[in-house]
């Protein structure tokens, strides 16, 4: 399972960055992105995103 942040919905609020235990999420420009090599696939970011901009693929 992998997760993706929907760039057209992300507001770069940083909630997912703070919640990620693997430090796999970084802000790039005006959106956040997930580094899939660092992601432990725990799903915490999905649960914490206040606008549901992170999906499981």
Helix residue spans in the chain (DSSP H): 15-19, 44-48
Residue 51 has pLDDT above 90, yes or no: yes
Tell me the Cα Rg of the chain. Answer: 10
Domain of residue 51: give its range: 3-56
- For the domain that residue 19 is a member of, what is the CATH number? 3.30.70.20
Domain count, the chain: 1
pTM: 0.91
- What does the pLDDT average to over 32-57? 97
DSSP notation for 13-41 = -SHHHHH-TT--EEEETTEEEE-TTT---
pLDDT score of 16? 98
CA distance 51 to 33: 15
């Amino acid at each position: 399972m992998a997760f993706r942040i929907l760039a057209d919905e992300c507001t770069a609020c940083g909630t997912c960055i703070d919640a990620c235990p693997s430090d796999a999420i970084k802000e790039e420009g005006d959106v956040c992105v997930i580094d899939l090599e660092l992601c432990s696939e725990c799903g915490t970011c999905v649960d914490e995103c206040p606008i549901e901009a992170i999906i499981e693929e």
